[in-house]
């Protein structure tokens, strides 16, 4: 899963925004 840099919430691998706080999830290399 993709972890939000702001709140550490685990999101789906294809998520563009955090489902909890709405922070934009940057694409990981």
The pLDDT score that the predictor gives to residue 29 is 60
Contacts for 22 with CB less than 8 Å, ≥ 6 apart: none
Render pLDDT for 1-29 as a digit per residue (tens, 0 to 9): 999 999 999 999 999 999 999 999 987 66
The pTM (predicted TM-score) of the whole model is 0.75
On whether the CB atoms of residues 2 and 21 are closer than 8 A, the answer is no
Q: What is the pLDDT of residue 13?
A: 94
Count CB-CB contacts under 10 A for residue 3.
13
Quote the pLDDT of residue 11: 97
């Amino acid at each position: 899963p993709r972890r939000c840099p702001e709140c550490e919430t685990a999101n789906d691998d294809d998520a563009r925004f955090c489902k909890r706080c709405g922070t934009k999830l940057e694409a990981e290399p």
